[in-house]
Structure 1
Amino acid sequence: MSAAIQPSAPEPADFRKAMGSFPAGVTVVTACHDGRLVGTTVSAFSSVSMDPPLVMVCLKRDSRTLAALSQARTFCVNILAQDQGDLAYRFAKSGADDRFALTAVEAGVCGAPLLAGSVTSVECEVRAAHDGGDHEILVGRVLRVVTDETKTPLVYVRGGFLNA
Protein backbone atom coordinates (compact mmCIF):
# COMPACT_ATOMS: atom_id res chain seq x y z
CA MET A 1 0.00 0.00 0.00
CA SER A 2 1.49 3.34 -1.02
CA ALA A 3 1.39 6.47 1.07
CA ALA A 4 -0.89 9.28 -0.09
CA ILE A 5 0.93 12.11 -1.77
CA GLN A 6 0.47 15.43 0.02
CA PRO A 7 0.72 18.26 -2.50
CA SER A 8 2.38 21.43 -1.29
CA ALA A 9 0.68 24.78 -1.61
CA PRO A 10 1.80 26.84 -4.60
CA GLU A 11 4.15 29.75 -4.12
CA PRO A 12 2.17 33.00 -3.72
CA ALA A 13 3.65 34.50 -6.90
CA ASP A 14 2.72 31.38 -8.89
CA PHE A 15 -0.81 31.38 -7.50
CA ARG A 16 -1.23 35.10 -8.29
CA LYS A 17 0.02 34.51 -11.86
CA ALA A 18 -2.35 31.58 -12.32
CA MET A 19 -5.37 33.52 -11.05
CA GLY A 20 -4.35 36.51 -13.19
CA SER A 21 -4.76 34.31 -16.27
CA PHE A 22 -8.51 34.27 -15.70
CA PRO A 23 -10.15 37.39 -17.17
CA ALA A 24 -12.33 39.25 -14.69
CA GLY A 25 -14.75 42.10 -14.86
CA VAL A 26 -13.75 45.14 -12.84
CA THR A 27 -16.02 46.64 -10.22
CA VAL A 28 -15.89 49.31 -7.55
CA VAL A 29 -17.80 48.40 -4.41
CA THR A 30 -19.11 51.49 -2.63
CA ALA A 31 -20.89 52.23 0.63
CA CYS A 32 -21.88 55.21 2.73
CA HIS A 33 -21.53 55.10 6.51
CA ASP A 34 -22.06 58.07 8.82
CA GLY A 35 -22.11 60.37 5.79
CA ARG A 36 -18.68 59.19 4.60
CA LEU A 37 -18.32 57.63 1.15
CA VAL A 38 -16.00 54.63 0.84
CA GLY A 39 -15.13 52.38 -2.05
CA THR A 40 -12.60 49.92 -3.37
CA THR A 41 -11.83 48.12 -6.63
CA VAL A 42 -12.94 44.49 -6.62
CA SER A 43 -12.62 41.80 -9.30
CA ALA A 44 -13.97 38.96 -7.13
CA PHE A 45 -17.66 39.50 -7.88
CA SER A 46 -20.27 37.06 -9.12
CA SER A 47 -23.95 36.28 -9.20
CA VAL A 48 -24.98 33.61 -6.70
CA SER A 49 -28.74 33.14 -7.17
CA MET A 50 -31.53 34.36 -9.42
CA ASP A 51 -34.32 33.62 -6.92
CA PRO A 52 -33.80 35.40 -4.66
CA PRO A 53 -31.36 37.66 -6.54
CA LEU A 54 -28.02 37.34 -4.72
CA VAL A 55 -24.44 38.37 -5.54
CA MET A 56 -21.13 37.90 -3.78
CA VAL A 57 -18.08 40.12 -3.42
CA CYS A 58 -14.78 39.46 -1.69
CA LEU A 59 -13.09 42.27 0.25
CA LYS A 60 -9.76 42.30 2.08
CA ARG A 61 -10.20 41.92 5.83
CA ASP A 62 -8.21 45.12 6.53
CA SER A 63 -10.22 47.18 4.01
CA ARG A 64 -11.78 50.44 5.24
CA THR A 65 -14.58 49.75 2.78
CA LEU A 66 -15.32 46.40 4.43
CA ALA A 67 -15.38 48.04 7.87
CA ALA A 68 -17.82 50.74 6.70
CA LEU A 69 -19.93 48.29 4.72
CA SER A 70 -20.22 46.00 7.77
CA GLN A 71 -21.73 48.94 9.67
CA ALA A 72 -23.88 50.34 6.86
CA ARG A 73 -25.16 46.85 5.88
CA THR A 74 -25.78 48.10 2.32
CA PHE A 75 -23.48 48.52 -0.67
CA CYS A 76 -23.35 49.04 -4.41
CA VAL A 77 -21.31 47.05 -6.93
CA ASN A 78 -20.49 49.39 -9.82
CA ILE A 79 -19.47 47.38 -12.89
CA LEU A 80 -16.97 49.64 -14.64
CA ALA A 81 -17.04 50.58 -18.31
CA GLN A 82 -14.10 50.05 -20.65
CA ASP A 83 -13.14 53.74 -20.44
CA GLN A 84 -13.00 53.73 -16.61
CA GLY A 85 -9.57 52.13 -16.10
CA ASP A 86 -8.32 55.27 -14.33
CA LEU A 87 -11.20 54.95 -11.88
CA ALA A 88 -10.31 51.31 -11.22
CA TYR A 89 -6.72 52.29 -10.39
CA ARG A 90 -7.81 55.23 -8.22
CA PHE A 91 -10.12 53.06 -6.09
CA ALA A 92 -7.48 50.31 -5.89
CA LYS A 93 -4.95 52.55 -4.10
CA SER A 94 -4.72 51.66 -0.43
CA GLY A 95 -5.46 54.55 1.91
CA ALA A 96 -6.41 57.05 -0.81
CA ASP A 97 -8.81 59.65 0.57
CA ASP A 98 -9.61 61.40 -2.72
CA ARG A 99 -11.24 58.49 -4.52
CA PHE A 100 -14.53 60.28 -5.10
CA ALA A 101 -13.01 63.72 -5.85
CA LEU A 102 -13.13 63.47 -9.65
CA THR A 103 -16.10 61.14 -9.92
CA ALA A 104 -19.77 62.06 -10.31
CA VAL A 105 -21.93 60.02 -7.95
CA GLU A 106 -25.56 59.79 -7.00
CA ALA A 107 -27.06 58.18 -3.94
CA GLY A 108 -28.79 54.91 -4.66
CA VAL A 109 -31.94 53.62 -2.99
CA CYS A 110 -29.84 52.11 -0.18
CA GLY A 111 -27.66 55.21 0.22
CA ALA A 112 -24.53 53.71 -1.35
CA PRO A 113 -22.99 55.81 -4.13
CA LEU A 114 -23.57 54.88 -7.77
CA LEU A 115 -20.62 55.86 -9.96
CA ALA A 116 -21.52 57.81 -13.09
CA GLY A 117 -20.53 56.13 -16.35
CA SER A 118 -20.65 52.57 -15.02
CA VAL A 119 -22.08 49.78 -17.15
CA THR A 120 -24.25 48.58 -14.26
CA SER A 121 -24.84 49.45 -10.64
CA VAL A 122 -26.09 46.64 -8.40
CA GLU A 123 -27.49 47.90 -5.10
CA CYS A 124 -27.53 45.37 -2.28
CA GLU A 125 -28.09 44.75 1.39
CA VAL A 126 -25.75 42.39 3.25
CA ARG A 127 -27.37 38.99 3.70
CA ALA A 128 -24.38 36.93 4.91
CA ALA A 129 -20.63 37.10 5.52
CA HIS A 130 -18.23 34.16 5.29
CA ASP A 131 -14.58 33.55 6.06
CA GLY A 132 -12.44 33.70 2.95
CA GLY A 133 -8.92 33.58 4.36
CA ASP A 134 -7.42 37.06 4.09
CA HIS A 135 -10.73 38.23 2.56
CA GLU A 136 -14.33 38.24 3.68
CA ILE A 137 -16.96 36.88 1.31
CA LEU A 138 -20.11 38.99 1.42
CA VAL A 139 -23.40 37.82 0.00
CA GLY A 140 -25.74 40.65 -0.90
CA ARG A 141 -29.44 40.54 -1.66
CA VAL A 142 -29.99 42.67 -4.76
CA LEU A 143 -32.39 45.56 -4.20
CA ARG A 144 -32.07 47.31 -7.58
CA VAL A 145 -30.00 47.27 -10.77
CA VAL A 146 -29.34 50.12 -13.18
CA THR A 147 -27.76 49.19 -16.53
CA ASP A 148 -26.50 51.15 -19.53
CA GLU A 149 -26.40 48.59 -22.36
CA THR A 150 -24.56 51.02 -24.65
CA LYS A 151 -21.35 50.63 -22.61
CA THR A 152 -18.74 47.86 -22.83
CA PRO A 153 -17.47 46.40 -19.53
CA LEU A 154 -13.87 46.81 -18.39
CA VAL A 155 -11.95 43.48 -18.29
CA TYR A 156 -8.72 42.79 -16.38
CA VAL A 157 -6.31 39.95 -17.18
CA ARG A 158 -2.59 39.32 -16.60
CA GLY A 159 -2.02 42.65 -14.91
CA GLY A 160 -3.73 44.89 -17.44
CA PHE A 161 -7.00 45.89 -19.07
CA LEU A 162 -8.22 44.32 -22.32
CA ASN A 163 -9.07 46.63 -25.19
CA ALA A 164 -12.00 45.60 -27.35
Structure 2
Amino acid sequence: MSAAPQSHAPEPADFRKAMGSFAAGVTVVTTCHDGRLVGTTVSAFSSVSMDPPLVMVCLKRDSRTLAALSQSGTFCVNILAREQGDLAYRFAKSGADDRFALTAVEAGMCGAPLLDGCVTAIECELRDAHDGGDHEILVGRVLRVVTDETKTPLVYVRGAFLNA
Protein backbone atom coordinates (compact mmCIF):
# COMPACT_ATOMS: atom_id res chain seq x y z
CA MET A 1 0.00 0.00 0.00
CA SER A 2 2.12 2.81 -1.26
CA ALA A 3 -0.59 4.98 -2.77
CA ALA A 4 -0.04 8.69 -2.23
CA PRO A 5 -2.52 10.35 0.11
CA GLN A 6 -5.32 12.19 -1.64
CA SER A 7 -6.48 15.62 -0.60
CA HIS A 8 -10.04 15.12 -1.89
CA ALA A 9 -12.84 12.69 -1.11
CA PRO A 10 -12.92 9.43 -3.05
CA GLU A 11 -15.54 8.78 -5.70
CA PRO A 12 -18.67 7.19 -4.16
CA ALA A 13 -18.17 3.96 -6.16
CA ASP A 14 -14.56 3.67 -4.96
CA PHE A 15 -15.59 4.30 -1.35
CA ARG A 16 -18.39 1.70 -1.60
CA LYS A 17 -15.93 -0.86 -3.06
CA ALA A 18 -13.41 -0.17 -0.30
CA MET A 19 -16.00 -0.53 2.47
CA GLY A 20 -17.37 -3.67 0.82
CA SER A 21 -13.97 -5.29 1.38
CA PHE A 22 -14.60 -5.26 5.13
CA ALA A 23 -16.48 -8.41 6.12
CA ALA A 24 -19.45 -7.63 8.34
CA GLY A 25 -22.03 -9.56 10.25
CA VAL A 26 -25.61 -9.07 9.13
CA THR A 27 -28.35 -7.89 11.48
CA VAL A 28 -31.98 -6.90 11.28
CA VAL A 29 -32.87 -4.04 13.60
CA THR A 30 -36.50 -4.22 14.70
CA THR A 31 -38.90 -2.15 16.77
CA CYS A 32 -42.61 -1.90 17.45
CA HIS A 33 -44.42 1.43 17.47
CA ASP A 34 -48.19 1.82 17.89
CA GLY A 35 -48.61 -1.94 17.39
CA ARG A 36 -46.78 -1.89 14.04
CA LEU A 37 -43.70 -4.09 13.55
CA VAL A 38 -40.88 -2.35 11.68
CA GLY A 39 -37.39 -3.51 10.76
CA THR A 40 -34.48 -3.16 8.37
CA THR A 41 -31.26 -4.97 7.49
CA VAL A 42 -28.18 -3.33 9.02
CA SER A 43 -24.49 -4.21 8.73
CA ALA A 44 -23.25 -1.07 10.53
CA PHE A 45 -23.43 -2.51 14.04
CA SER A 46 -20.86 -2.72 16.81
CA SER A 47 -20.38 -2.99 20.53
CA VAL A 48 -19.44 0.31 22.15
CA SER A 49 -18.99 -0.39 25.86
CA MET A 50 -19.03 -3.32 28.28
CA ASP A 51 -19.86 -1.22 31.36
CA PRO A 52 -22.49 -0.07 30.83
CA PRO A 53 -23.32 -2.48 27.99
CA LEU A 54 -23.83 -0.32 24.89
CA VAL A 55 -24.15 -1.07 21.18
CA MET A 56 -24.22 1.14 18.08
CA VAL A 57 -26.29 0.84 14.90
CA CYS A 58 -26.50 3.20 11.94
CA LEU A 59 -29.80 3.77 10.12
CA LYS A 60 -30.54 5.86 7.02
CA ARG A 61 -32.14 9.19 7.88
CA ASP A 62 -35.17 8.46 5.66
CA SER A 63 -35.70 4.98 7.13
CA ARG A 64 -39.16 4.07 8.44
CA THR A 65 -37.37 1.99 11.05
CA LEU A 66 -35.48 5.04 12.31
CA ALA A 67 -38.71 7.04 12.56
CA ALA A 68 -40.49 4.27 14.50
CA LEU A 69 -37.48 3.56 16.71
CA SER A 70 -37.16 7.23 17.60
CA GLN A 71 -40.78 7.15 18.80
CA SER A 72 -40.69 3.79 20.60
CA GLY A 73 -37.31 4.32 22.25
CA THR A 74 -36.54 0.59 22.13
CA PHE A 75 -35.14 -1.80 19.54
CA CYS A 76 -33.72 -5.26 18.99
CA VAL A 77 -30.59 -6.12 17.02
CA ASN A 78 -31.19 -9.59 15.56
CA ILE A 79 -27.87 -11.11 14.46
CA LEU A 80 -28.74 -13.34 11.53
CA ALA A 81 -27.67 -16.97 11.12
CA ARG A 82 -25.85 -18.23 8.02
CA GLU A 83 -29.04 -19.74 6.58
CA GLN A 84 -31.00 -16.46 6.89
CA GLY A 85 -29.72 -14.69 3.77
CA ASP A 86 -33.26 -14.54 2.35
CA LEU A 87 -34.38 -12.74 5.50
CA ALA A 88 -31.55 -10.20 5.11
CA TYR A 89 -32.66 -9.47 1.54
CA ARG A 90 -36.33 -9.22 2.51
CA PHE A 91 -35.65 -6.67 5.26
CA ALA A 92 -33.26 -4.74 2.99
CA LYS A 93 -35.96 -3.99 0.38
CA SER A 94 -36.98 -0.36 0.54
CA GLY A 95 -40.68 0.18 1.19
CA ALA A 96 -41.53 -3.51 1.60
CA ASP A 97 -44.57 -3.97 3.84
CA ASP A 98 -44.44 -7.79 4.08
CA ARG A 99 -41.10 -8.12 5.86
CA PHE A 100 -42.55 -9.99 8.83
CA ALA A 101 -45.04 -12.10 6.79
CA LEU A 102 -42.91 -15.26 6.52
CA THR A 103 -40.98 -14.85 9.77
CA ALA A 104 -41.87 -16.12 13.21
CA VAL A 105 -41.43 -13.37 15.80
CA GLU A 106 -41.63 -13.12 19.54
CA ALA A 107 -42.20 -9.89 21.45
CA GLY A 108 -39.15 -9.02 23.47
CA MET A 109 -39.19 -7.66 27.00
CA CYS A 110 -39.45 -4.08 25.70
CA GLY A 111 -41.82 -4.89 22.83
CA ALA A 112 -39.35 -5.01 19.96
CA PRO A 113 -39.68 -8.16 17.80
CA LEU A 114 -37.14 -10.96 18.14
CA LEU A 115 -36.79 -12.88 14.87
CA ASP A 116 -36.88 -16.66 15.10
CA GLY A 117 -33.73 -18.58 14.16
CA CYS A 118 -31.20 -15.83 14.78
CA VAL A 119 -27.79 -16.34 16.36
CA THR A 120 -28.42 -13.59 18.90
CA ALA A 121 -31.08 -11.05 19.81
CA ILE A 122 -29.89 -7.93 21.64
CA GLU A 123 -32.70 -5.89 23.20
CA CYS A 124 -31.94 -2.24 23.80
CA GLU A 125 -33.34 1.08 24.90
CA LEU A 126 -32.27 4.10 22.89
CA ARG A 127 -29.71 6.12 24.80
CA ASP A 128 -28.26 8.59 22.26
CA ALA A 129 -28.50 9.61 18.61
CA HIS A 130 -25.72 11.32 16.68
CA ASP A 131 -25.31 12.86 13.24
CA GLY A 132 -23.73 10.42 10.83
CA GLY A 133 -24.07 12.20 7.49
CA ASP A 134 -26.85 10.49 5.56
CA HIS A 135 -27.30 8.11 8.52
CA GLU A 136 -28.16 8.50 12.19
CA ILE A 137 -25.79 6.80 14.65
CA LEU A 138 -27.86 5.26 17.44
CA VAL A 139 -26.43 4.11 20.74
CA GLY A 140 -28.51 1.63 22.69
CA ARG A 141 -28.18 0.43 26.24
CA VAL A 142 -28.40 -3.35 26.24
CA LEU A 143 -31.22 -4.67 28.42
CA ARG A 144 -31.10 -8.38 27.53
CA VAL A 145 -29.33 -10.79 25.18
CA VAL A 146 -30.54 -14.17 23.93
CA THR A 147 -27.95 -16.31 22.11
CA ASP A 148 -28.06 -19.67 20.32
CA GLU A 149 -24.44 -20.83 20.23
CA THR A 150 -25.30 -23.73 17.91
CA LYS A 151 -25.84 -21.29 15.01
CA THR A 152 -23.20 -19.75 12.75
CA PRO A 153 -23.51 -16.02 11.93
CA LEU A 154 -24.24 -14.71 8.43
CA VAL A 155 -21.31 -12.72 6.99
CA TYR A 156 -21.42 -10.22 4.11
CA VAL A 157 -18.39 -9.15 2.07
CA ARG A 158 -17.90 -7.70 -1.44
CA GLY A 159 -21.60 -7.72 -2.23
CA ALA A 160 -22.32 -11.34 -1.29
CA PHE A 161 -22.84 -13.61 1.67
CA LEU A 162 -19.82 -15.64 2.73
CA ASN A 163 -20.61 -19.34 2.93
CA ALA A 164 -18.05 -20.84 5.27
Matched residue, 2:27: 27
Letter paired with 1:12: P
- Cα deviations across residues 48-90 of structure 1 (Å, max 9, x unaligned)? 0000000000000000000000000000000000000000000
User: Per-residue deviation at 1:104?
Assistant: 0.1
Q: Structure 1: which 5+ residue stretches go unaligned? A: none
Matched residue, 2:120: 120
Secondary structure of 2:91's counterpart equals helix
In structure 2, distance between residues paired with 1:62 and 1:41: 14
User: Per-residue deviation at 1:145?
Assistant: 0.1
Give the total of aligned pairs: 160
Matched residue, 1:102: 102
Secondary structure of 1:153's counterpart equals coil
User: Per-residue deviation at 1:6?
Assistant: 6.9
| Aligned alpha-carbon RMSD (Å) | 0.9
In structure 2, distance between residues paired with 1:43 and 1:16: 13
Secondary structure of 2:83's counterpart equals coil
Identity of aligned residues (%): 89
Q: Report the TM-score, using the length of structure 1 for normalisation.
A: 0.97
Q: Structure 2: which 5+ residue stretches go unaligned? A: none
Letter paired with 2:49: S
In structure 2, distance between residues paired with 1:110 and 1:121: 12
User: Per-residue deviation at 1:12?
Assistant: 0.2
In structure 1, distance between residues paired with 2:87 and 2:134: 24
In structure 1, distance between residues paired with 2:41 and 2:6: 36
Matched residue, 1:12: 12
Q: Report the TM-score, using the length of structure 2 for normalisation.
A: 0.97
Secondary structure of 1:59's counterpart equals strand
In structure 1, distance between residues paired with 2:18 and 2:6: 21
User: Per-residue deviation at 1:129?
Assistant: 0.2
User: Per-residue deviation at 1:122?
Assistant: 0.1
